[in-house]
Each structure stands twice: as structure tokens, then as C-alpha cells.
Chain A
Amino acid sequence: MRPPSPSIPEKEFLFASLKASLRLDGRQPLQLRTPELTFGPELGWVECALGKTRVLAQVDAKMVKPPPERPFEGMVSIHSEISPIASPEYEFGRASEEEVTMTRMLDKVLRRSDTIDKESLCVIAGQRVWHVRLAIHCLSDEGNMLDCACLAGIVALRHFRRPEIEVVGDEVTIHDPTERAPIPLAIHHSPFCFTFAFFADTSIPPILDPSHLEQRLSAGLVSIALNAQREICVLQKLGGVPLAPDSILNLVEIAVSRAKELDRLVDDKLKVDWSGRRVEFR
């Protein structure tokens, strides 16, 4: 069952407070909720939280035979699903609009933007390649699940390390992580996604990282995915209020500065986790 739209008092209060540049959680209009990254015991297991929105990302890799048309490339697949665990408004079995949007966006941001060097995943051309599988689990939806999922996905890919392999002729030996240090994936760049919400009332400025209520009451979302090197990967706007080219350029500028901050934060977190992790050698 779709929940009813927010009640009149909620709607009126939110619009009035946004007009006064006040957000319900005390943020500035263009302020991101600080992401919390929790790394699990395994490599490639990351839980990302933006406020009460929580997404779990997990990466694993296995050896497969590549398709004959691409014998030199490894495979990357992304599995994402929004189940009723995130919010009662999602139904089991039936793909909701949000789920379709999110799956397509994750595919564009993390796979089609060539984040992972696929040729480096090749073991023996035409015979053996790595298949990297990224699973995204949405645990709780308190708004802006897309940005959270993208962040969890890229951090998980950067956190993951695949086992070292050795090729002698046609023989492939996979070394156990306890024998030889596992190696990270070859990652070209780290795209981050930023979602802005617009409102029908043009006196309300656009806001970054909308909460659930803000998202429900918005009249249009713009998602920009880009990396800290100022390269835009995806710009998505699915209908909603019309926007002037200038305002889009403004958003891109804001997203660039946020991407730089986020990139530093992710680098630091990964470094701290890696230094606290003991990888055993024998």
C-alpha cells in the first residue's frame, strides 16, 4: 500500500520553514548529512548511513568464463533491491518506481562510468575472468537513498580486495588471503552522487540531500554524479519543475565542492580502517 501523501500541517510547516531557510534537522539548505561509514569484518562489506537512511553494500568476486564477444574483460554486476525492510511503502516482489530509478542510476554511476578497470580483471583471455558482484541492501529509508547507495557502493568497491592469483601455463592458482596479501581492484575514479530537491514555490531555494518528507513534498529532483576531478558522470532529472541552465550550472559547482569534501572523507575512513586491519602473512 502506498502511504498517503503528507498531511496538510506537515506540508504547510515544511514550506514555511524552508522559505525561512530553516530545515527540520537544523541543516543549511546545501548541507549534506555527514555520512557514517562502518566497515565489516570482511573486505568489501560497508554500511553507509546518512542520518537514519542506511544502506549496506557487499562485494564479492569469483572466477567465471567470459562471454565470447568480450574475452579480455572481467565482469561487474550490481544487484540492488528495495524491500519492505526499508520502509512499509515498498512492496515485496513488485519493483517500485524508486527501485527502477535507483537500479538504473547505480548502473550508470558505478558500472557504465568505467569505475573499475575491467581489463585488469582478466586472468586468461577467453578462459577465466573475475566476476565482481556488488550487492546493495537498503536497510532504512529516511530520504535520499540513492546518494547513500552510490556512496556505499563505491566505498565497498574501494574497500574490497580480491585474492592474489598465479598463472602458470593454463593452471590458475588462487592464493588464500592468509598466504598472500589480497590486492585491491583497479579503480579509475570514485564518482559520488548528489541529489538536490526543488519545490514548486520558486522562492524556496534548492536543497541538497533531502530528507524523506522533503523528498515527498518536492516538485523535482536533480541527481548529479561526479568525481573529485570535476568529471560529471551522470546528470539526471526525471521531470518536475523546469530549471534554467544557470541554476543547473550552480548546482554542478556546489556538487563539485561537496565531491571534493566527500572524497577526502572517504580516503581518510578507508585509510583508518586499513591501518586498523591486520592482514596475516605466513
Chain B
Amino acid sequence: MSIILPGEHVPARHVNLKLGPGLLQLSSPDKRRGIADEGLGIISTKAGTLHHSTNQSKWWIENNSRRYVPAQQESVIGVIILRSGEGFRVDIGSAHTASLDGLAFEGATKRNKPNLKIGCLVYARVSLAHKDMEPELECFDAQTRKAEGFGELKEGFLVRCSLKMSRLLLDPKHFLLPLLGHRFPLEAAVGMNGRIWVNTKEMKHTIAATRCIEAVDPDGGGMDERGVKEFLNALDVE
């Protein structure tokens, strides 16, 4: 692990190399800068810490930010902002709005399309993310055509957090969601775009969950497990 800045050369070399977020292989190695002599011409596109898997086949950069850049296969939470003919325009917090096809839902046909209003929340997967095109979303698994948990999110509340926080919550070993789940029944959907939807039976539980997520966020307080336990006790959620 080392700190890396945008444009730096990355010494990644493997027969089955996979590049993760923040890394780019130059299509035509830049001879002028002498990158061609230094391997595969892989450079970093963002600042952060460089990580690789133990056998050096997977490389990626970790950092924290607040603006989302769409990447393929990531699950995100979006807000419907426009209905246009066949589909919807969705705000996923990126520089451009994403498009969501009306047929990209489980069981949707030409006649029977989902009826989403403007302002609805959807949990979707990024099916197309290309730097020169606008992102596209889908609310089902394209192979099985099953919803797999995607679709409209009804009721509940949307918490906005840093991108690192949403990645942390996706880690099954992270303490926060199980800890909250021990206190009260809780439903949550984590979008990689820094949005977390939570739903509980009671209002004060939703507020407690919201405040805990904001407190644990490394961008806000970065509270640890013990701190959260004390915080929850002080909140009186029973």
C-alpha cells in the first residue's frame, strides 16, 4: 500500500491483470514520456492509496470523495426526475443524469410498465458506464430477469454520506448495520453513490439510524463501535 497521485505510473504486471477504480491503461503507450519502457502503461487517475491482491493480479486505488463517478455493475440509489416516453431520467449524484429503461424491471412488458412518479427512489444497477456516454441503469439481473432486490424504494428515508462510508457499509464485516439490527428491526439499501436508504417501523429508529450513519462516516466524525454503542444508549431508542 502506498500513496499515489493522478498520472503516476503503476508497476502492475500479471498475465491475468484486472484494473480496479482509479487505474487506466493508456491505449497507445506514450513514447514521449517513456511510459512504454516501464511496462504496460498503466497510470492512476485519482489520488489515494494503491492496493493490490496478494498475487498482484488485481490492482485498485482507495480514497474518499463526495462526488460519484458511475462504474459498471455498481448498485446505486437514484431519484426519478423525468419520465420520458419509454423510460426515466434518474439523478444518481453523478455529473450527468442516468437513463433507466421502462422495460428494465422484473416482469415489465410493453403493456405493463412500472408506474414510477417523479421523486420516487429506485435501487438500481449501473449497466453502462462509459466516460463519453451517459450512464444507464437497470432494475433487474439481465440474465435471469429477476429483480434481485432492485426496484422502487417505498417510504423510509434517504441518508447522504461520503462514498467511502457506503463502501464500508457494503463490507459484511462492518459493525454498524448488525449493531443497529440488534437494537431494532431495520431495512437498508446501500448505494455506491453515497446514498443509503433506511426504513424502520418507528420514526425515532430511522432518525437514530440516520444519525449513526452520519456519525460513523469517515468524512464526518469517524466514530468507532464503542462510540456508536454509547451514542445509541444516549439516544434512548427502545
Residues of chain A at the chain B interface (Cβ within 8 Å): 3-13, 16-17, 20, 22, 24-26, 52, 88
Contacting A at CB under 8 A, from B168-223, are: 197, 203-204, 206-207, 210-211, 220
Q: Which of A3, A5, A9, A88 contacts B157 (CB 8 A)?
A: A9
B26 within 8 A of A: no
- Inter-chain contacts of A20 with B (CB < 8 A): 203
Q: Among B39-47, B51-59, B99-107, B115-123, which stretch is in contact with chain A?
A: B115-123
Q: How many chain-B residues does the 8 Å CB contact rule pick out?
A: 23
18 further interface pairs, Cβ-Cβ under 8 Å (given A7-B158, A9-B156, A52-B220): A4-B79, A4-B119, A7-B79, A7-B119, A7-B121, A8-B119, A9-B153, A9-B158, A12-B155, A13-B156, A13-B157, A13-B206, A16-B203, A17-B206, A20-B203, A24-B210, A25-B211, A26-B235
Which of B153, B154, B203 has the most A CB atoms < 10 Å from its CB?
A: B203
- Inter-chain contacts of A88 with B (CB < 8 A): 67
Nearest CB of B to A43, in Å: 31
Q: Is the interface of A mostly helix, strand, loop or mixed?
A: loop
* A140 to chain B: closest residue by CB: B66
Q: Is the interface of B mostly helix, strand, loop or mixed?
A: mixed
Inter-subunit contact B203/A11 (CB<8 Å): no
Residues of chain B at the chain A interface (Cβ within 8 Å): 67, 79, 81, 91, 117, 119-121, 153-158, 197, 203-204, 206-207, 210-211, 220, 235
Inter-subunit contact A11/B156 (CB<8 Å): no
Inter-subunit contact B207/A9 (CB<8 Å): no
Nearest CB of B to A52, in Å: 7
Which of A7, A26, A52 has the most B CB atoms < 10 Å from its CB?
A: A7
Inter-subunit contact B204/A11 (CB<8 Å): no
- Inter-chain contacts of A26 with B (CB < 8 A): 207, 211, 235
Which of A3, A10, A11, A16 has the most B CB atoms < 10 Å from its CB?
A: A10
* A14 to chain B: closest residue by CB: B157
CA distance A26 to B121 in the complex (A): 25
Inter-subunit contact A9/B91 (CB<8 Å): no
Nearest CB of B to A17, in Å: 5
Inter-subunit contact A9/B203 (CB<8 Å): no
CA distance A2 to B158 in the complex (A): 19
